[in-house]
Amino acid sequence: MPQPFQCPKTGTYYYRKTIPEPLRPVMGRGREWKVSLGTKSLADARPLFAAESARCEAALALARASLKGESKLQPSDGPKLADRWAAAELAAWERDSDRIRQFLDRSGGEVVMPLERQDTREPWGGPDLQRLLAAAIQQTLTEAGHPVPPESSPAYLVLRNEFFVTWHSLCWTALQRHNGDWRSAPSLPAASLPLSQEAAPQGRIGKGLLLSQVAAKWAESKQQDSAGLGDLSKTIAEYTDCMQRLIFVVGDIPASQVSKSTIHHFRVTLGQLPKGRWKPGLTLEALRAQAEQGAATMELATIRKKLAALATIFKFACERLEAMEEEPVAASGVLRDLRNAINKAALHKEAPDKGYSRAELTTIFSSPLFKSAWSPKRADYGQALYWLPLLMAYTGARREEVAQLLVSDVEQDAESGVWCIAIRPGDGKSLKTVSSRRRVPLHDDLLDLGFLDYRASVPASGRLFPKLKPHKDGLGHAIGKTWDNYLQDEVKLQSAAKPAHGFRHAFKTLCREVGIPKEVHDWLTGHAASNVGDSYGNAPISRMSEELKKFPSIARLAGLLQ
């Protein structure tokens, strides 16, 4: 009994069947019917395999009938095929705007719809239109794997009528675009519907997948591929948001219709709209109006980041779903052009200091919070608001790396006896990169300030900061906002550094100032090895601890220790 094929490289299951040689020209799929089932679970793959097998067998039967010139079209297929023709024609206009001319005419020096000059005695148009519609019907049926039915058949009469109506809609759209309105488009609700007998595209997989469906399948696969590596909801939400923005601009079209010009249009549109989240319910014109009235627009780096996210999803659509012929973002060259533009812009402005200076660190840690003279009015974070900034300053760790620590992650190295924090995934914790997994020695100042006493004061089986609440953006999200407000309202700090990430940049700068070797502070911060040799072996805790003694005593500069 046939079974799903599992790709040895990716682990994804596929349906595969050799197509008989006489049927290959008709089916247009090469020698093999091969479709990704979009899952690495055999249990999930089996029902998908059975459904795809049924579609394949139906396609083979259809191809055999086509070779014999037997049409199996039903009248209900007419609107579906006409909408497919219109969708393909609109996509062609995106690549070549001159194509709209064949849907326009001239009268008295003005550009008009051809229907306005049509002879009323010819309800189906003159010979030129008859030839155009016949060619469109022929091409659309060929792409669907169907022969053209006899002209006297009910199916053909419906086809002729539906294609004529659709031609009229395309003429109207062409006139709008000739007049400068490239947002207008006819409604094509039947374009993605399956024919009464058809192999693909339909169902869960294939070229008929809409953008929203591709995004959902990417998210599902991302969760499966990263099982056990922590919560990916934030990453998935960010990437899905990029796809939702594309859908907002171009519509929830089939992924196969996204071209290089579509991506260029989206990139230009992003630059015309306000940055940040777009308020639901507003139209594209309303958002443009906000930008024209002074609302800040997206920076080039932000636009590039969003397009790079789309490239990731579209690469998945190409390689795993076979829903696209090429990945349009990379093919368009827009990422390269944006990178060059960003680099050129950087030459003409001074880069802000991303990290806190020594003076700023002293100001921060000599402020009321660290002298038990201030606490949030409403929120209760326990002692997290006190310890998180200190841990970030003395370890260079990211906010979320520290916020998600378990009590058991504060441990004593068996060989050296050095106390350290273990930054690792699992138990609801996630990491940004592979190199982020590490152990970081605790500076003597942290021990002198009573960090181990704090550790002993919370339940040993739970989180180090148990009062931090889960959030889609991480355990440190809420406290991050409070910390930002505290620096602005209480400390009155004027700094270009980001509230939390500024500690990470400051840590690297201070390490360089005091002569801690690069490989050591890369070990401490979890930055990737710069060459293959550096990736060999482990990072010794004893060496890191010894080098960390050079790190300046910020607590003493701030008066927290004598």
Q: Give a yes or no: residue 216 inside a domain.
A: yes
Q: Give a yes or no: residue 407 inside a domain.
A: yes
Rounded Cα distance between 141 and 163, Å, is 12
Q: Give a yes or no: residue 185 inside a domain.
A: no
Adjacent-strand bridge partners of 419: 412
Q: Give a yes or no: residue 199 inside a domain.
A: no
Determine the pLDDT at residue 400: 94
Determine the pLDDT at residue 350: 67
Determine the pLDDT at residue 121: 47
Determine the pLDDT at residue 428: 82
Same domain, 325 and 235: yes
Select from 347, 370, 404 the last residue of a domain.
347
Torsion from C-alpha of 59, 63, 69, 75, nearest 10 degrees: 20
Q: Tokens for 386, please give them.
A: 């006190």
For 58-119, give the secondary structure using H, E and C. Answer: HHHHHHHHHHCCCCCCCCCHHHHHHHHHHHHHHHHHHHCHHHHHHHCEEECCEEECHHHHCC
Q: Give a yes or no: residue 204 inside a domain.
A: no
Same domain, 313 and 380: no
Positions in the chain short of pLDDT 70: 25-30, 66-67, 69-71, 115-125, 145, 198-207, 226-231, 350-351, 531-535
- Half-sphere exposure for 471 (CA within 13 Å, toward CB): 14
User: Hey, how many other C-beta atoms are within 10 angstroms of the C-beta on 304?
Assistant: 21
Q: Give a yes or no: residue 333 inside a domain.
A: yes
Determine the pLDDT at residue 200: 45
When divided into structural domains, the chain yields a total of 4
- Domain of residue 296 covers 211-347
Same domain, 230 and 268: yes
Select from 347, 370, 393 the last residue of a domain.
347
Enumerate helices (H) and strands (E) in the chain, giving the number of each.
22, 8
Rounded Cα distance between 335 and 343, Å, is 12
Same domain, 530 and 383: yes
Q: Which of 1, 10, 16 is nearest to 39 (CA)?
A: 10
Same domain, 424 and 484: yes
**356 phi, psi to nearest 5 deg:** -70, 145
Q: Could you tell me the CATH number of the domain that includes residue 428?
A: 1.10.443
User: Hey, how many other C-beta atoms are within 10 angstroms of the C-beta on 549?
Assistant: 11
Q: Give a yes or no: residue 183 inside a domain.
A: no
Rounded Cα distance between 317 and 324, Å, is 6
Determine the pLDDT at residue 240: 92
Rounded Cα distance between 301 and 341, Å, is 9
Geometric angle at alpha carbon 523, from 517 and 529, rounded to 5°: 90
Determine the pLDDT at residue 201: 42
Adjacent-strand bridge partners of 421: 410, 440
Same domain, 414 and 524: yes
Structure pTM?
0.56
Determine the pLDDT at residue 535: 66
For 506-544, give the secondary structure using H, E and C. Answer: HHHHHHHHCCCCHHHHHHHHCCCCCCCHHHCCCCCHHHH
Q: Which of 409, 404, 383, 422 is nearest to 470 (CA)?
A: 404
Same domain, 373 and 454: yes
Same domain, 332 and 370: no
Q: Give a yes or no: residue 190 inside a domain.
A: no
Determine the pLDDT at residue 547: 95
Same domain, 29 and 87: no
Determine the pLDDT at residue 199: 47
Determine the pLDDT at residue 488: 93
Rounded Cα distance between 265 and 250, Å, is 9
Same domain, 368 and 316: no
Select from 21, 49, 67 the last residue of a domain.
67
**316 phi, psi to nearest 5 deg:** -60, -45
Same domain, 397 and 474: yes
Same domain, 43 and 159: no
